[in-house]
Structure 1
Amino acid sequence: MTGDGLWLTRLTGDPAEPAIRLFAFPNAGAGPNVFTGLARRLPGWIDLWAVALPGREARFGEPPRTELAPLTAELADALLPHLSRPYALFGDCSGALLAFLVAHRVRELGGPAPVRLVVRAYPPPDIVNRTPRELLALESAEFWRRLVSQGRIPPEIAAIDDMREVFEPAFRADYRLLAQYEYRPMPPLNTAITSLPGPGDPDARRHAAGWAAHGKGDPHHREVGNGGRATDSPAALGAHLAQTLGDLAP
């Protein structure tokens, strides 16, 4: 594992000419290491980089960010030097919204479009998501109970008082980011958007169509893994990403 400045952590090897760079945006409260299992199961032609936000892992000593626009701008600036090769974006849960906004910011800066945006378990950006505000209104005990019941964090982590104390600031900061988001119409991205629904999501088809409208191409969705978080099924997720990106590699 190697770092690149503050914002990106490379989780795979250092191939001389990777066919595709994949930038992964973790779910709320998580850091780059949530993708280490995925990194071990990707083919060598995919160069995986994970987004490293303040307030977790190597950046634990920094205060978590709570302003969405400046965060999006800094992430786009961090990605730009690495876009000389074809690249894709993957956003897990709330990371989907951040990946989407960063793709738009890269376009505003004159950077190339990703070959694919893959989003998982998050509604399209024009659908109001009330969950962040609902979670922020909860006291700590109920906040953690809700995170566990929704599959957002393993119960063994939530059961440890010290762990809750460590992780709660980053979780709450990320939900503040999401709660302040307000949709504004933007031209569709020049890339197809694949939606990976959460387990048993009754809105899977509707959300896939909604996401597709913000890019180009037909709606596509597929449930990956055996339920829970996508990173709990790294082999299935890795296989799907390799299949999705394989036809796009130069």
Structure 2
Amino acid sequence: MNTPQPSAGTARSAGYLRLAGRNRLTDRKWIARPRRVADPRLRVVCFPHIGGGAALYNGWTGRLPADTELCAVRLPGRENRVEEPLVDELPVLLDGIEGALAPLLDRPYVLFGHCSGSMLAFQLARRLRAAGRRMPSLLVVSSIEAPAVREITDPMHVLPREELFRRFADYGGIAPSVLADPDLMALFEPVIRADYRLIERLAYHPEPPLDVPLTVIGGLHDPVVEYGAMTHWRAETSRPFSLRLVDAGHFVVDEAADLVARMLAELSTEENQ
């Protein structure tokens, strides 16, 4: 009698569940900590945009309060994980992230996501709530529509290569030097497609609002995300909500660093009152 074999998705999920958060090596794979703090007051956990890696946030290290530890999520298939298989299934990805983050949630923390990374941060917050874990002190999302009003009418992950690269470059998600290098782009293309496939197939399921303050950061000159679509994030929280616009286009990571630093200072003041 033939023994039933698990599906590829089930097998990969089980594999990540066995690995995630089980040892320090795995934690370093999933979570980069470019500036470690011996006894941090809080941690900022940052999620990259499509095609991005943890290095996206290296420029934040000297701009956050001295008592704040920066933790950047590093996804499979890029940076020092380039030889690992890409993951385009949200439950599998969240299994790994949640397991690796678990030891770091021993003190207050903030979740930050840029563009598609905002969806990962939001979905992780929902998952942590369902698991009864410590919730973030603040959720910050940037350059993305609220999940309830997102509409994928022209999916990027199925576009021909040249069109995919052109539109991705228009969003500011890739350096011109990379775009001009065919060998680099050949390596980069599967990562972009897998990330888009994950986000574009993500269906929205209504749940009670998060009991977490929520801030949206948007670019005044963003050609992709409309202001009105960002205001709908208000429905995803039962706590204070704010929408802050910066003098930027779609890519607001650099401008967001100083804004997030100020918000962290405000959090510290509120905690001490």
- Report the TM-score, using the length of structure 2 for normalisation: 0.83
For residues 159 and 152 of structure 1, what CA distance do their matches in structure 2 show? Answer: 14
For residues 19 and 31 of structure 1, what CA distance do their matches in structure 2 show? Answer: 25
Correspondence for 2:78 among 50, 56, 59: 56
Q: Which runs of 5+ in 1 are unaligned?
A: none
Correspondence for 2:200 among 179, 184, 193: 179
Deviations 1:80-130 (A, max 9, x none): 221111000000110000000011111111111101110010111112331
Alpha-carbon distance change, 99 to 193 in structure 1, aligned in 2, over 3 angstroms: same
Q: Indicate the residue corresponding to 2:219 in structure 1.
A: 198
For residues 96 and 77 of structure 1, what CA distance do their matches in structure 2 show? Answer: 19
Deviations 1:5-24 (A, max 9, x none): 42111021x32221110000
Correspondence for 1:170 among 181, 191, 208: 191
- Quote the offset at 1:72 in angstroms: 1.6
Correspondence for 1:11 among 34, 42, 52: 34
Q: Indicate the residue corresponding to 1:148 in structure 2.
A: 169
**Could you tell me which amino acid in structure 1 is paired with residue 46 of structure 2?**
A
- Quote the offset at 1:229 in angstroms: 1.8
1:175 partner SS: helix
Deviations 1:167-200 (A, max 9, x none): 1111110011012211111111111111111342
Structure 1: 4+ residue segments shifted above 6 A:
none
Contact 2:76 2:82 in 1 (8 A): yes
Q: Map of 1:95-134 to 2, 5 A cutoff?
A: 95-130=117-152, 134=155
Correspondence for 2:181 among 151, 155, 160: 160
For residues 247 and 221 of structure 2, what CA distance do their matches in structure 1 show? Answer: 11
For residues 144 and 205 of structure 1, what CA distance do their matches in structure 2 show? Answer: 25
**Identical aligned pairs, as a percentage?**
36
For residues 230 and 46 of structure 1, what CA distance do their matches in structure 2 show? Answer: 21
Q: Map of 1:34-45 to 2, 5 A cutoff?
A: 34-45=56-67
Please state which structure has a larger fraction of its residues in helix: 2
Deviations 1:120-164 (A, max 9, x none): 101111123317x52122111111011112222222221111111
For residues 170 and 116 of structure 1, what CA distance do their matches in structure 2 show? Answer: 29
Contact 2:144 2:230 in 1 (8 A): no
Contact 1:20 1:47 in 2 (8 A): yes
Larger radius of gyration: 2
1:69 partner SS: helix
Contact 1:68 1:180 in 2 (8 A): no
For residues 226 and 164 of structure 2, what CA distance do their matches in structure 1 show? Answer: 26
Q: Indicate the residue corresponding to 2:265 in structure 1.
A: 246
- Report the TM-score, using the length of structure 1 for normalisation: 0.90
Please provide the CA RMSD for this pair: 2.0
- Quote the offset at 1:74 in angstroms: 2.3
For residues 175 and 61 of structure 1, what CA distance do their matches in structure 2 show? Answer: 19
